Structure 1
């Protein structure tokens, strides 16, 4: 999910970022999805 959303590459996850960074990226993905869902609900 983090790689497909282009927050980090697989190489970066393996060499630069740690587990805590990964969890931070995942939190960003979840928050972005919730915000997008809210925006879409308001459009309808």
Structure 2
């Protein structure tokens, strides 16, 4: 995540910097915490 944010920063792509810093961790937390329901047949 740090490498992706650094590369976006050096490319002056601020929307990507924000996506990398905010969206990726939130999606990871969602995958771990929220989407832990048991699979139903």
TM range, normalised to the smaller chain? 0.3 to 0.5
Larger Rg: 2
Which TM-score applies when normalising by structure 1?
Answer: 0.47
Q: Which has the higher contact order (CA 8 A, sep 6+)?
A: 1
